[in-house]
């Protein structure tokens, strides 16, 4: 029978502890709305006692549409030797005006005496008093037992005593935290089992960090032992090696072991949510991320590809569409004609035009890869190439001339200027633009010229630009390969260029990226490829 597991997202609090991650209050609100749309039950919004930005978020969230999702404010137990009603942290938690409050307290004796520097008894009182006080204010209270697993291993009686204190204070849910992420799956199972037996009828949660690469596995193991709430973050963002990745947690629980976390109909939005959060965090999405990464259902070897054409189950354990992702077939010098045929079919193209059947295209691609192109990393360029070979490509604009000037002045500043002349359907356009480098200047000039004819060009942006000097030639005359990754609100695509001239290689990759965007938009608008 399906059992409900509550998902508690802490992307906005623990997630922002991750290196390079910072969200403004407005960005937090956008993420919260996205997660609420997904049907996440709890969203931890921040620590109102720690910074004004989090307090501002809670104020904005009061009037926002976050559906049935419960927003929670996070903070610590009262300070030592302070009355709860006088404690500034508890005061700030109440000021956030959320229905649910999560407070953390120490469950490891070492942390109590050595780090916090209070007596074991005072720590137990701090937990009891703080929760009793918050309950008197009619709040739902979640207690995070920090370092619980280490604490239990060091001093089980004391660790259990902290839980007893939280329960005596009438905490609603007790969350066992593997705060430093060092606990093994077997230990998690064993400890959760014992704790559950010691407190029958109590609702428990798990908060796992990923320092051993086990956060998702530990969370699932805890659920198998009867835990009913999982804390984690989207994409596993978080301090050090991060938290349990809720995307993997949800898919595994729901599609693999039949526990319900969110509505079945929402699972297909997980890929979009993962990319949405990575976009706001401004961190390139991880290609290898389970289920939602670009490579999660990418097949490269010719044998694999012909097998999945017969039956996808041969190499896929979940249907890509079920999680909102898609199958990709990569074409490289390792692939055979089945990859090209699959690709053409996917793009709705017919092969054979201009005498280019799949055999001839494979041959051409192998030759180009020998020259330094790399198509498994540049599917955008590959699609255009197949279209060009088979006579199914129509240039959306023609280039008449391009000039780039680089200037380095006495102050050591360097600036580039590009002038470009293009025409679209007989109409000419000349523009100039500056940039902090030659490629940037060309990109700016080209977009400026094109935006008059194709306004949607503004939606796209470059997210990565990689230059690799190819082996086999020497010095500044060596060949270079440029790989560009681009995105708009919906898709990510890669293109490639190769030349002895870095500007020329960049131009090839850049122009392919723009062609790809324009033909994608056109297909969308007309419903044809």
Which residues bind to Zn ion, rule: CB under 5 A?
14
- Nearest CA to 206 among 240, 253, 255? 253
Measure the CA–CA gap between 45 and 58, rounded to whole angstroms: 7
Closest CB 362 distance from Zn ion, rounded Å: 50
At residue 429, what are phi and psi to the nearest 5 degrees?
A: -145, 130
Beta strand residue intervals within 113-180, DSSP E: 140-146, 173-178
Measure the CA–CA gap between 206 and 224, rounded to whole angstroms: 12
Closest CB 171 distance from Zn ion, rounded Å: 18
Comparing CB distances to Zn ion, the nearer of 187 and 316 is 187
Q: Are 151 and 177 in contact (CB under 8 A)?
A: no
Closest CB 212 distance from Zn ion, rounded Å: 15
Comparing CB distances to Zn ion, the nearer of 14 and 245 is 14
Closest CB 139 distance from Zn ion, rounded Å: 21
Closest CB 294 distance from Zn ion, rounded Å: 28
Comparing CB distances to Zn ion, the nearer of 47 and 133 is 47
Core vs surface per residue 418-454: b (16+ CB within 10 A) or e: bbbbbebeeeebebebebeebbbbbbbbbbbbbeebb
Which residues lie below 8 Å from residue 350, measured CB to CB, with a gap of 6+? 344, 390, 392
Closest CB 32 distance from Zn ion, rounded Å: 18
Which residues lie below 8 Å from residue 78, measured CB to CB, with a gap of 6+? 84, 87, 89, 90, 126, 129, 130, 133
In the numeric block, which tokens belong to residue 471? 């082996």
Measure the CA–CA gap between 512 and 415, rounded to whole angstroms: 25
Comparing CB distances to Zn ion, the nearer of 14 and 376 is 14
Comparing CB distances to Zn ion, the nearer of 14 and 341 is 14
At residue 6, what are phi and psi to the nearest 5 degrees?
A: -80, 130
Closest CB 189 distance from Zn ion, rounded Å: 20
Closest CB 14 distance from Zn ion, rounded Å: 4
Comparing CB distances to Zn ion, the nearer of 71 and 365 is 71
Closest CB 54 distance from Zn ion, rounded Å: 16
Closest CB 231 distance from Zn ion, rounded Å: 7
CA 378, distance to chain mean position in Å, is 21
Measure the CA–CA gap between 3 and 282, rounded to whole angstroms: 36
Closest CB 312 distance from Zn ion, rounded Å: 37
Burial of 104 per CB tally in 10 Å (0-12, 13-18, 19+): buried
Comparing CB distances to Zn ion, the nearer of 14 and 129 is 14
Minimal CB distance residue for Zn ion? 14
Q: Are 250 and 322 in contact (CB under 8 A)?
A: no
Comparing CB distances to Zn ion, the nearer of 125 and 211 is 211
The DSSP annotation for 34-87 comes to HHHHHT-SEEEEE-TTT-HHHHHHHHHHHTS--TTPEEEEEEEPPPTT--GGG-
The DSSP annotation for 336-383 comes to -HHHHHHHHHHHT--S-GGG--HHHHHHHHHHHHHHT--GGG-HHHHH
Comparing CB distances to Zn ion, the nearer of 14 and 521 is 14
Comparing CB distances to Zn ion, the nearer of 14 and 485 is 14
Comparing CB distances to Zn ion, the nearer of 31 and 308 is 31
- Nearest CA to 8 among 91, 71, 64, 62? 71
């Amino acid at each position: 029978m399906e059992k409900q597991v509550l998902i508690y997202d802490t992307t906005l609090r623990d997630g922002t502890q991750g290196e390079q991650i910072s969200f403004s209050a407005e960005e937090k609100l956008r993420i919260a709305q996205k997660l609420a749309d997904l049907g996440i039950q709890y969203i931890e919004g921040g620590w109102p006692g720690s910074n004004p930005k989090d307090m501002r978020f809670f104020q904005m969230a009061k009037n926002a549409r976050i559906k049935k999702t419960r927003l929670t404010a996070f903070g610590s137990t009262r300070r030592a030797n302070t009355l709860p009603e006088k404690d500034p942290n508890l005061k700030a938690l109440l000021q956030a005006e959320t229905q649910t409050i999560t407070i953390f307290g120490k469950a490891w004796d070492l942390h109590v005496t050595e780090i916090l520097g209070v007596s074991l008894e005072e720590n137990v009182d701090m937990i009891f008093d703080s929760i009793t006080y918050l309950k008197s204010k009619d709040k739902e209270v979640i207690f995070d037992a920090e370092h619980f697993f280490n604490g239990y291993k060091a001093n089980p009686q004391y660790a259990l005593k902290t839980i007893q204190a939280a329960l005596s204070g009438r905490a609603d849910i007790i969350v066992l935290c593997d705060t430093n992420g060092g606990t093994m799956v077997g230990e998690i199972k064993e400890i959760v089992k014992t704790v559950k037996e010691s407190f029958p009828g109590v609702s428990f949660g798990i908060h796992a960090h990923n320092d051993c690469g086990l956060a998702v596995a530990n969370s699932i193991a805890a659920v198998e032992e009867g835990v009913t709430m999982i804390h984690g973050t989207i994409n596993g963002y978080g301090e050090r090696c991060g938290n349990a990745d809720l995307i993997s947690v949800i898919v595994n629980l729901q599609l693999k072991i039949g526990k319900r976390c969110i509505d079945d109909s929402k699972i297909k939005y997980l890929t979009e949510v993962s990319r949405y959060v990575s976009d706001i965090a401004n961190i390139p999405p991880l290609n290898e991320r389970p289920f939602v990464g670009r490579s999660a259902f990418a097949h490269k070897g010719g044998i694999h590809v012909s097998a999945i054409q017969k039956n996808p189950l041969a190499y896929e354990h979940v249907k890509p569409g079920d999680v909102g992702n898609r199958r990709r077939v990569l074409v490289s010098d390792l692939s055979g004609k089945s990859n090209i045929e699959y690709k053409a079919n996917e793009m709705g193209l017919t092969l054979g035009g201009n005498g280019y059947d799949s055999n001839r295209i494979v041959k051409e691609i192998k030759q180009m890869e020998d020259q330094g192109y790399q198509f498994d990393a540049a599917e955008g360029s590959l699609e255009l190439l197949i279209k060009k070979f088979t006579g199914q490509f129509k240039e959306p604009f023609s280039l008449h001339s391009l000039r780039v000037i680089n200037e380095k002045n006495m102050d050591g500043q360097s600036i580039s200027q590009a002038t470009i002349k293009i025409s679209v359907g007989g109409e000419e356009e000349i523009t100039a633009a500056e940039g902090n480098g030659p490629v940037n200047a060309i990109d700016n000039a080209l977009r400026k010229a094109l935006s008059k004819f194709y306004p949607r060009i503004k939606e796209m942006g470059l997210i990565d630009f990689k230059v690799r000097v190819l082996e086999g030639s020497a010095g500044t005359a060596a060949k270079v390969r440029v790989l560009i990754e681009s995105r708009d609100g919906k898709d990510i695509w890669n293109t490639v260029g190769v030349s002895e001239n870095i500007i020329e290689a960049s131009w090839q990759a850049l122009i392919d990226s723009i062609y790809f965007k324009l033909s994608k938009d056109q297909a969308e608008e007309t419903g044809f490829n």
